[in-house]
Copies of this chain bind each other. A is one copy, B any other.
Amino acid sequence: MADLIELRDGMRSFTEERDWSRFHDPKSLILALVGEVGELSELFQWLPAETAQELANREPLRPRAEEEISDILLYLIRLADVLDIDLGDAAERKLAASSQKHTPGSQPHKVIPG
A73 touches B87 (CB 8 A): yes
Query: Contacts A27-B31, A37-B33 known; A46 to B108 CB distance under 8 Å?
Result: yes
Oligomeric state, in copies: 4
Kindly provide the distance from the CB of A52 to the nearest chain B CB, expressed in whole angstroms: 5
Range for the number of chain A residues in contact with chain B: 35 or more
Give chain A interface residues in 34-72, CB to chain B under 8 Å.
34-53, 55-57, 60-62, 65-67, 69-72
- Contact residues in B for A1 (Cβ distance below 8 Å): 3-5, 86-89
CB of A91, distance to nearest CB on chain B (Å)? 4
Residue of B nearest to A20 (CB): B108
Inter-chain contact B95/A10, CB cutoff 8 Å: yes
A108 touches B23 (CB 8 A): yes
Closest to A23 in B: B46
Kindly list the 8 A-B residue pairs having the minimum CB-CB distance in the complex, ordered from nearest.
Answer: A38-B38, A1-B88, A49-B49, A70-B94, A35-B42, A31-B45, A2-B92, A2-B88
